[in-house]
Structure 1
């Protein structure tokens, strides 16, 4: 019996030792033991290399503006573990986590004794989320992010009202495959029979995989750049302006406060989802809800400005496609400023390409590391740099502190890299800014 939140989190994290196990058999077994809660949830399923969290956030804000109760399941977390399971942006309570663990723990222990093997941490969290939304805190709609890939992801036990694949890029290739087609095949595994699919995938070879899967599943496909059109008007100091059109709706002069051309694309996918839910699922979402939700949408750790004096921005770009979007956003909004970049990464990423892209906009490069089993050392990361002049810190707190103390008034200090690092660095910068 679990008595405290701390005990509950400790038990969940103790399952990390079982690693990543692709496959849905354990999920299906546990959910059947719990009465198949996943069958009682109306949901939207999101996959993609980048942009899942932002697209989900735009959807949540627009649905909330229309006064719907929206559940979300996301990963990883930035501030607290609880935010992975949230309702209207409010993380699940500590006591509810403890109650959920007491509900699923006997099932997990029973599974451990079967020939299916032990449940992983992510499988357990997914089961908890599905049980929570079905039995403990029912919502009008739940937005569920895949954790990794799609076909064998733990979330792929659901039958959604709508499916979204944001984009395809080079990430987790040791698990998903080393070509865009292979990665797209894994993501397309979430497409269900007769369930419409919205996608922002741009590469022809990946898009063909999505199209083939949609045809096989007899699912209507809505593609960004085809059925979904977006015209980006301007990058302004406070955000982006654009026009959106689809077979269902056209909205002119829309505004989002999250910066970057990629955010315009994410917003377009979310808008298409709203149009579909309105037309086919009877969700009452008016233009005023659309405009309000888009303008207010905010996602921590995604080109987030933590401070203005000095200017400190944090962004969880952790693969080549994410870095490319980050570089384009900096060019669009801060081309006149001096850019100081602090970068850290996991060792299994495409580091030559990522470092090379960052150095095209950086006036000063700082390499560091953090405590994580897959993190690369600062020295090894800096070896991927072509610059003669660069700064190397094995202690990331020292790197941030020294840099912030040396910034000029109009400098932009950009911290980027692994999302695991961003979670830690964000707390440190916020605390340091408050002290000043």
Structure 2
């Protein structure tokens, strides 16, 4: 039995992260012994390479604007573990987390004894905590983010109202496969019989996998750029503005407070999933709800402005597809400014490509550094990052990120942008620093 919050976290984080053989059997056994609380929940399921977190946030705020109470399950957390399980945007309390861990711990011990490869993994436990929490604290709808992949993800024992696949790109290739169709097949594993599917802006070969999987499951796919459309309407303020069209639904000048073309895509994907979910629930979608829900959405660590003077932003662009989007954002919004980027990346990412992509933006100056990687995952060292760079006078090195931050602030002018990016784990560390300063 755990008595404190620290002991609860120690129990959760002390579990294996992966097993050799991917399977949902262990998760199904686990939940059956807990009374299958997931069967009591109405859910939307969100998978994808990038954009999952922002899409979940848009969905949460759209449902809340319509008067629903909303649960969310997201990963990783930015500041505290509790963020992963939230009710109307408020994280689960420490006391509730301790009580839930004590509820599931005996079942975990049973499975550890009975199963040859031992019992549930860390993420399976996270998922079980979430299902049990929302079964005991009912909400109108739960928006569930996939942890990794889809097909064998521990969340994939649910039958949601709508399944969402935000993007498909090259990431986690050792686990999910080394081609876009292979990765798409893993993500398409969340598609269920007669459950409609909403897809963001996918490559053609990835969308073909979704269409084929949906056809086999006798359901439909609504895809961005084909079945629903957006048109960017330039916005002078911090944020984006766009027009949206999906069948009879058509809205002009929708605004989001998050920056980047990809956030328009995420908002439109969320809006389409929200519209389909409301139709299935026999509810109407109003213009006021849509405008309010999208405009109010915030999501920590996604091109989040942490200082206005000087202008400093943080972003967890943690893989090559995200860096491509980042480069597009910088060209569009900050072409007139010098951009100083403090970059720290996990060693198991495609850091050579990530560095090269940022250096294609002519006004970017890179300061390569490192941070304390999570658990067993190491951060790429400055030397490793430097080895990814052809000689450039726009690249410097720093032994740690506080030193990099001081270097950038001592070099940049009042009109420039400072961006810290490269890993969500890095951004979590940095965000603590800036947010603690505000208190």
> TM-score higher than 0.5 here?
yes
Further displaced range: 101-110 or 53-62: 53-62
Q: Give the counterpart of 2:396 among 391, 398, 413.
A: 391
Contact (CA 8 Å) 1:248, 1:275: kept in 2 or not? no
**2:381 counterpart residue number:** 377
Contact (CA 8 Å) 2:75, 2:84: kept in 1 or not? yes
How far apart in 2 are the matches of 1:84 and 1:214?
29
CA deviations on 1:360-402 (whole Å, 9 max, x unpaired) are 2243210011112321111111211123332212222222233
TM-score (norm 2): 0.95
**2:434 counterpart residue number:** 429
How far apart in 2 are the matches of 1:329 and 1:205?
25
Quote the RMSD (CA, aligned, Å): 1.5
**1:127 counterpart residue number:** 128
Further displaced range: 363-372 or 275-284: 275-284
Further displaced range: 344-353 or 159-168: 344-353
CA displacement at 1:6 relative to structure 2: 1.1
How far apart in 2 are the matches of 1:115 and 1:75?
27
**1:347 counterpart residue number:** 347
* Long gaps (5+) in structure 1: none
CA displacement at 1:355 relative to structure 2: 0.6
- Per the alignment, in what secondary structure is the counterpart of residue 39 of structure 2? helix
Contact (CA 8 Å) 1:41, 1:134: kept in 2 or not? yes
CA displacement at 1:248 relative to structure 2: 4.1
Contact (CA 8 Å) 1:2, 1:98: kept in 2 or not? yes
CA deviations on 1:254-311 (whole Å, 9 max, x unpaired) are 1111111111111111111121122221245421010011111110100101001111
**1:403 counterpart residue number:** 408
**2:236 counterpart residue number:** 236
**1:174 counterpart residue number:** 174
How far apart in 2 are the matches of 1:364 and 1:414?
10
Count of aligned residue pairs for this structure pair: 433
Task: Return closer, same or farther for 1:171/1:254 CA change in 2, 3 Å cut-off.
Answer: same
CA displacement at 1:406 relative to structure 2: 3.8
- Per the alignment, in what secondary structure is the counterpart of residue 233 of structure 2? strand
- Per the alignment, in what secondary structure is the counterpart of residue 342 of structure 1? strand
Further displaced range: 379-388 or 253-262: 379-388
**1:111 counterpart residue number:** 111
TM-score (norm 1): 0.96
Task: Return closer, same or farther for 1:286/1:176 CA change in 2, 3 Å cut-off.
Answer: same
- Per the alignment, in what secondary structure is the counterpart of residue 298 of structure 1? coil
**1:245 counterpart residue number:** 245
Contact (CA 8 Å) 1:46, 1:143: kept in 2 or not? yes
How far apart in 2 are the matches of 1:238 and 1:395?
30
CA deviations on 1:170-225 (whole Å, 9 max, x unpaired) are 10000000000000000000000110000014211111111110000011111111
- Per the alignment, in what secondary structure is the counterpart of residue 182 of structure 1? helix
CA deviations on 1:291-340 (whole Å, 9 max, x unpaired) are 01111111010010100111111111111110111111111111111110
**2:216 counterpart residue number:** 216
After superposition, residues 63-102 of structure 1 pair within 5 angstroms as: 63-102=63-102
**2:420 counterpart residue number:** 415
CA deviations on 1:59-98 (whole Å, 9 max, x unpaired) are 1111111221000000000011100000111000000000
